[in-house]
Amino acid sequence: MATSHPIAVPDRSRAVLGLTIGAAITTIALTGVAMWLSYEALHDLATDHQLGGARAWAWPATLDTFVIVGELLVLRASLLRRLDVLAMLLVAAGSAGSIVLNVVSVGAEVDTTTQVVAAVPPVAALLAYTALMRQIYRALTTARPTPPRPRPAVPVPADAPLTAVTAPVLPPKPTTPPVLPPVYSDPRCTVIRQCYDIGVRPGTATMRAALAAAGYTVSDGLIRGTLRVEVEQHEPHLRDLPAEQQLRAA
């Protein structure tokens, strides 16, 4: 049984990078050659019209510089997402002047083919330089993506009411239910219960005096055997209080 081997697929990013670099180098070379040919033709034209020496070399630059400056301004406007009409006019004026003067440099007596040959360098220089600016634009926009535009602020009327910043609503904390007083079967137990508030287990005399002050006349047996028993049944911890007699003896 034959075994299948995976086909090696080249790295796409490397291929794209290589083609981009190759296209950039070729475009730069084409731009340089085309501008050199156009520059030489304009130099010869300047020499034939009473410009010599350094002036003959400087005069073509006054025309080709329009194209270079215009293309750079067009690139700048593209990065800013704008339309620069003046930059386009500079490119058009420089390119048209260079093409016309390159054709004029060969003379009017030549054939059409010679004139086309003379027009090729400035046209090729324009197209190559435009392609180079396009590659630079793509490289800049890929390396630095445009940040998102901030949303415009909504104007708030001066007389609009201010909205208070409210804190988050938290669930209520559990509270301890209030302790309700015990309900006695005999109202006289309430009087007996008050005798415990001094922190001791009251004696018979103390409870009897409290009942008498409240208008009750009760026997000692009822006090000890019924009333106090009912109070301490509702609150058993009252039995653990120190006895009043023990504190007095101490």
pLDDT tens, residue by residue, 92-149: 877 787 788 888 877 777 788 877 887 788 788 778 778 877 777 777 776 555 566 7
Which range has highest mean pLDDT (40-44, 47-51, 120-124, 236-240)?
236-240
Task: Copy the structure tokens of residue 7.
Answer: 């086909």
165-198 in b/e burial notation, b at 16+ Cβ within 10 A?
A: eeeeeeeeeeeeeeeeeeebeeebbebbbebbee
- Residues 70 and 87: beta-carbon distance below 8 Å: yes
Q: Where are the alpha helices (DSSP H) in the chain?
A: 12-48, 54-79, 85-104, 112-143, 188-194, 204-213, 220-222, 228-234, 244-249
pLDDT tens, residue by residue, 183-195: 888 888 888 888 8
- Residues 177 and 215: beta-carbon distance below 8 Å: no
- Half-sphere exposure in the Cβ direction for 219 (13 Å, CA): 4
